[in-house]
């Protein structure tokens, strides 16, 4: 935040500093419901080395927190992640898709192309995207909670009780419930945790393993399909969400596009996966207490330490987070994101566009954006009536 402070007739600009209190620590874990499942899948299915993956994730989280000073999150690019996990792609092709993804968003930001595209996103379209994304998170959370419904129900009740408690952050209690329940449901996990060992290792430079064939495959199979989703979720929605929550620390579509471009050009060089600034991640961080970029710095620091000293034990460490508890975290993050639509107003056409866009957003973010722009303009110009 920049505050204008008058001192002896002059004005100086004072920036709000990142906080590192217990609420920022609690909010730091508000997005692990998305992070952990993707990381585990990348490591176990795609065979991405955990060292580079977690190290670069940590670096980008810290950079985002220090630069934006709001919880502008770092998340795995979901379309690329889902395609990579389902398609048995090689790590080199995944790294290549990160490079071409980064180049696309850097050029989109630097050239200003992103600005006229973003202007097409009127309030009903943006709110529809955020509602659809929020509901997607909530449904995904419920599906995870079904793996242990009694535990999830208990965790939800506890979370609601503590959600606004400034002294006992709900996230800390959730994590404790998760660890205790993991041990109770799987007593053998204690012997597995005993296998965790410390071993310092540095990330490996990954660029030499990327060939032109990897670049072509990564671009066609991953980069291009991801663009519409990133535009809706990680550019338009995150700008709207950040600027509504933090009007004193506003961002622009251009800044976010360039940011995503830079981090995806750097991340694959040391074994990192394609990343974005997903709106759902910010909702999760904020819902559990984060108010500044300090939460991202905290989470980033933890991931860097795990990467450098415990990368061989990552799959064991993540077992202490039961799927149902991750589902509860996702559910509350989704609800936090979806609730922003409360300001849509009582105009029937705006509400209608929002609902249609939300429905499409739960299927495909790019299609939702396109349908929303066409429908909203058609209604405003009187071409169609409802």
Distance in angstroms (rounded) separating the CA atoms of residues 159 and 326: 13
DSSP H or E segment with residue 13? strand 10-15
238 in Cβ contact with 230 (< 8 Å): no
For residue 314, the model assigns a pLDDT of 87
Q: Would you state the pLDDT for residue 298? A: 98
Q: Is the pLDDT of residue 304 over 60?
A: yes
Q: What is the dihedral of CA 241, 243, 244, 245, to 10 degrees?
A: 80
pLDDT band of 88, cuts 50, 70, 90: low
pLDDT confidence tier of residue 10, bands split at 50, 70 and 90: very low
Which pTM value belongs to this model?
0.84
Per-residue CA distances from 304 to 201, 207, 316, 340 (Å):
11, 21, 17, 33
Query: What average pLDDT does range 32-54 have in this prediction?
Result: 88
Is pLDDT of 11 > 60?
no
pLDDT band at 315 (very low <50, low <70, confident <90, very high): confident
Residue 345: which region, alpha, beta or left (left: phi > 0; alpha: psi -120 to 50)? left
Which tens digits make up the pLDDT trace of 219-253? 888 888 788 878 888 899 999 999 999 999 999 99
Residue 192: is it exposed, middle or buried by C-beta count within 10 angstroms (0-12/13-18/19+)?
Answer: middle
Query: What value does the mean pLDDT take over residues 167-179?
Result: 91
Contact 143, 334 (CB under 8 A): no
Quick check: 330 pLDDT over 50? yes
Q: What is the pLDDT of residue 225?
A: 78
Q: b/e string for 41-64 if b means 16 or more Cβ within 10 A?
A: bbbeebebbbbbbbbbbbbbbbbb
Inform me whether the pLDDT recorded for 283 exceeds 70: yes
What is the chain's mean pLDDT, rounded?
Answer: 89
Residue 26 has pLDDT above 90, yes or no: yes
**3-state class (DSSP) for residue 18:** coil
């Amino acid at each position: 935040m920049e505050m204008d402070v008058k001192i002896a007739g002059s004005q100086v600009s004072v920036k709000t500093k990142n906080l590192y209190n217990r609420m920022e620590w609690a909010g730091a874990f508000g997005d692990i419901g998305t992070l952990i499942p993707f990381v585990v899948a990348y490591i176990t299915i795609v065979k991405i080395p955990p060292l580079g993956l977690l190290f670069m994730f940590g670096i980008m989280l810290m950079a985002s927190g220090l630069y934006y000073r709001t919880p502008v999150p770092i998340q795995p690019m979901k379309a690329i992640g889902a395609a990579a996990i389902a398609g048995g792609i090689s790590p080199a092709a995944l790294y290549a898709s990160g490079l071409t993804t980064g180049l696309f968003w850097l050029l989109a930001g630097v050239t200003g192309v992103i600005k006229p595209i973003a202007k097409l996103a009127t309030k009903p379209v943006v709110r529809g995207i955020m509602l659809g994304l929020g509901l997607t998170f909530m449904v995904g959370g419920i599906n995870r909670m079904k793996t242990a419904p009694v535990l999830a129900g208990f965790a939800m009740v506890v979370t609601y009780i503590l959600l606004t408690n400034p002294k006992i952050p709900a996230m800390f209690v959730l994590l404790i419930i998760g660890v205790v329940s993991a041990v109770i449901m799987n007593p053998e996990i204690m012997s597995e945790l005993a296998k965790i060992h410390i071993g310092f290792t540095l990330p490996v430079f990954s660029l030499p393993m990327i060939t032109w064939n990897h670049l072509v495959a990564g671009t066609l199979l991953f980069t291009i399909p991801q663009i519409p989703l990133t535009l809706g979720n990680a550019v338009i929605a995150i700008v709207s969400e950040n600027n509504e929550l933090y009007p004193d620390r506003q961002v622009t579509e251009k800044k976010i596009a360039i940011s995503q471009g830079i981090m995806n050009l750097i991340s694959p060089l040391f074994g990192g996966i394609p990343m974005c600034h997903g709106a759902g991640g910010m909702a999760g961080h904020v819902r559990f207490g984060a108010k500044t970029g300090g939460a991202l710095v905290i989470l980033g620091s933890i991931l860097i330490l795990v990467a450098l000293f415990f990368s061989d034990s990552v799959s064991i460490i993540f077992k202490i987070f039961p799927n149902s508890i991750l589902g509860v975290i996702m559910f509350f993050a989704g609800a936090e994101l979806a609730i922003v639509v409360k300001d849509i107003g009582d105009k029937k056409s705006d509400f209608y566009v929002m609902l249609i866009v939300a429905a499409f957003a739960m299927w495909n973010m790019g299609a939702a954006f396109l349908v929303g722009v066409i429908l909203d303009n058609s209604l405003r110009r009187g071409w169609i009536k409802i």
